[in-house]
């Protein structure tokens, strides 16, 4: 990145111009560039963003492996006939598919889809691998990229024609096992946000008309962005037996009876990066929690000619101590830049904690620590710096989480009729909870004028309207309310 780019700084307002502000942060903090000419909708993921993705991968992959998941890799292409086979049960992704027609200077006999998701190629193999109840549960996951040729405008990480994700696919002996799997993965997705990205999320399920095609139940974690829109931040599908029946996943049980398996699939994409960037960043640039920050601490020595040697020595010692403790630290001892420039640059790039060291700190055997998110500054003893820094990381994480939690808590409102839903969404954004009969038609009066939709309904056992023991009616029609619908605008 050239110095000129750095000096520009963020010019758009997060509050008033969220979209433009986001695009500016992504570009100026060196997170992503747009794809080449002729490839709108694609992005180049630069090292700073990719390093965050790697930490997310590491965190989630370890959870997967602790809970019986094995990684594998399936071909990136899927024969058209395989996608067709899936059509018996689902609509599929046809309109969004990219097709390979020619390869090796020859037209292909059967064209190949670039995978939009891999159920239709993975399930037939699971069918081959499962013979006996002893082969169950069978769990495979792959980290890969998928292509969906969406027509809508690109937003890096939120909406791109190619995106990175993981997709897990499992088979189980019973419906209950498959449901437990579905929830295990959803909980792990929640933990990514809660414990790694400093963001609370809502957990629930999609309304039936918005499920993954062919699924019994699609569960979701939803994150609220500062501009009041909801992001579908990870989904876990209980597929029931529809895929197992279509692709013939059967097993012999303990009594040698042939039975049909129950399957699940679940995915989380780099959209999580988009949600992370949008949630915490500000008008100085990127903000990251220490958990995923490529550089966690920057040490900036501040010297005059006569104090340079002492200050630099001291700063190097601090950086070495942190490095020895396994903290990702950078010492910015560049001669050609003044401290103010350095501060701005490291703020733009989202380093969570800055340590300033001048002659005063050297004399007093102290350090000045500055929190990236809010500029809070604390003076601490030089001794036990690694321990102190870890404590500060936790404080910064708690601050980020608290702010995001406040946004979410304040962002859930109630309404009882169409006008109130529309009014509340229009004024505040966020989620509006309303009693709902369960009919897709009753989403339309909100979706049509407002482009808001039902992003979630709580699970049965968490929804007071689900047991039927009440007098509530749907906010749109006169039928009895069967669920609480969460309306929101979405990315």
Binding interface with a second copy (CB under 8 A): 1-4, 33, 35-39, 42-47, 50-51, 53-54, 70-79, 81-82, 94-105, 109-110, 112, 114, 121, 124-125, 128-129, 131-132, 135, 140, 144-145, 147, 149-151, 161-162, 164
Shortest Cβ 75–a second copy spacing (Å): 4
* Nearest alpha carbon to residue 397 among 290, 278, 279, 322: 290
* Binding partner at 402 among Zn ion, a second copy, none, C-beta below 5 to 8 Å by kind: none
Alpha helix positions (H), 192-284: 242-247, 271-280
* Binding partner at 374 among Zn ion, a second copy, none, C-beta below 5 to 8 Å by kind: none
Q: Does 437 bind Zn ion (CB under 5 A)?
A: yes
Q: Which of 178, 396, 476, 488 binds Zn ion (CB under 5 A)?
A: 476
Those residues with Cβ within 8 angstroms of residue 18's Cβ, 6 or more apart along the chain or in another chain: 225, 226, 227, 278
| Closer residue to Zn ion, CB minimum distance, 180 or 477 | 477
Q: Cα(265)–Cα(219) distance, rounded to whole angstroms?
A: 11
| Closer residue to Zn ion, CB minimum distance, 189 or 436 | 436
Q: Does 225 bind Zn ion (CB under 5 A)?
A: no
**Distances from the Cα of 58 to the Cαs of 26, 138, 230, 400, in angstroms?**
23, 22, 26, 22
Angle between helices 271-280 and 18-28 (to 10 degrees): 110
Q: Cα(352)–Cα(298) distance, rounded to whole angstroms?
A: 8
* Binding partner at 98 among Zn ion, a second copy, none, C-beta below 5 to 8 Å by kind: a second copy
| Closer residue to a second copy, CB minimum distance, 198 or 246 | 246
Q: Cα(75)–Cα(356) distance, rounded to whole angstroms?
A: 50
* Binding partner at 112 among Zn ion, a second copy, none, C-beta below 5 to 8 Å by kind: a second copy
| Closer residue to Zn ion, CB minimum distance, 395 or 417 | 417
What is the number of other CB atoms lying within 10 angstroms of the CB of residue 177? 17
Shortest Cβ 42–a second copy spacing (Å): 4
Q: Does 442 bind Zn ion (CB under 5 A)?
A: yes
Q: Which of 98, 144, 380, 477 binds Zn ion (CB under 5 A)?
A: 477
Q: Does 474 bind Zn ion (CB under 5 A)?
A: yes
**How long, in residues, is the chain?**
491
Q: What is the CA radius of gyration of the chain?
A: 26
Shortest Cβ 99–a second copy spacing (Å): 5
| Closer residue to a second copy, CB minimum distance, 30 or 429 | 30
* Nearest alpha carbon to residue 166 among 236, 225, 86: 236
Shortest Cβ 246–a second copy spacing (Å): 15
Shortest Cβ 229–Zn ion spacing (Å): 24
Write the DSSP string, 129-173: H--BGGG-SEEEEEEEEEE----SPPBTTTB-SEEEEEEEEEEES
Shortest Cβ 209–a second copy spacing (Å): 23
Helix (H, G, I), strand (E, B) or coil at 347: helix
The site for Zn ion (CB under 5 A) is made up of 437, 439, 442, 474, 476-477
């Amino acid at each position: 990145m050239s110095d000129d780019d750095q000096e520009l700084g963020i010019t758009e307002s997060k509050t008033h111009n969220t979209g433009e502000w986001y695009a500016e942060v992504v570009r100026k903090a060196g997170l992503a560039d747009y794809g080449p000419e002729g490839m709108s909708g694609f992005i180049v993921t630069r090292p700073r963003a990719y390093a965050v993705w790697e930490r997310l991968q590491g965190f989630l992959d370890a959870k997967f492996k602790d809970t019986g998941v094995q990684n594998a890799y399936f071909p990136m292409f899927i024969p058209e006939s395989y996608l067709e086979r899936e059509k018996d049960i689902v609509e599929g992704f046809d309109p969004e598919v990219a097709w390979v027609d020619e390869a090796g200077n020859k037209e292909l006999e059967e064209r190949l889809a670039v995978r939009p998701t891999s159920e239709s190629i993975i399930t037939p193999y699971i069918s081959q691998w499962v013979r006996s109840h002893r082969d169950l549960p069978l769990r495979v996951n792959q980290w890969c990229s998928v292509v969906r040729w969406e027509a809508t405008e690109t937003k890096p990480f939120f909406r791109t024609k190619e995106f990175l994700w993981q997709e897990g696919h499992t088979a189980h002996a019973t419906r209950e096992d498959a449901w437990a799997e579905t929830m295990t993965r959803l909980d792990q997705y929640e933990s990514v946000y809660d414990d790694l990205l400093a963001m609370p999320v809502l957990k629930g399920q999609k309304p039936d008309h918005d499920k993954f095609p062919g699924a019994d139940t699609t569960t979701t974690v939803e994150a609220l962005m500062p501009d009041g829109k909801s992001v579908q931040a990870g989904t876990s599908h209980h597929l029931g037996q529809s895929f197992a029946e279509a692709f013939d996943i059967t097993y012999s049980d303990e009594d040698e009876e042939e039975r049909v398996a129950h399957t699940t699939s679940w995915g989380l994409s780099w959209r999580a990066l988009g949600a992370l960037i949008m949630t915490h960043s500000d008008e100085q640039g990127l903000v990251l929690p220490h958990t995923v920050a490529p550089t966690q601490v920057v040490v900036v020595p501040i010297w005059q000619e006569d104090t340079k040697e002492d200050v630099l020595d001291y700063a190097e010692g601090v950086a070495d101590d942190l490095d020895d403790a396994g903290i990702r630290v950078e010492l910015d001892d560049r001669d050609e830049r003044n401290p103010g420039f350095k501060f701005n640059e490291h703020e733009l790039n989202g380093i969570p904690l800055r340590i300033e060291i001048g002659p005063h700190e050297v004399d007093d055997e102290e350090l000045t620590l500055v929190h990236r998110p809010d500029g809070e500054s604390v003076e601490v003893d030089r001794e036990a710096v690694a321990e102190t820094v870890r404590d500060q990381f936790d404080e910064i994480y708690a601050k980020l989480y608290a702010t995001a939690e406040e946004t979410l808590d304040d962002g859930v409102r109630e309404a009882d009729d169409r006008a109130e839903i529309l009014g509340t969404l229009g004024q505040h954004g966020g989620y509006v909870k309303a009693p709902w009969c369960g009919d897709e038609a009753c989403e339309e009066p909100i979706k049509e004028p407002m482009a808001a939709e039902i992003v979630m309904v709580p699970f049965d056992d968490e929804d007071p309207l689900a047991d039927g023991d009440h007098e509530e009616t749907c906010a749109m029609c006169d039928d009895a309310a069967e669920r609480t619908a969460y309306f929101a605008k979405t990315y």
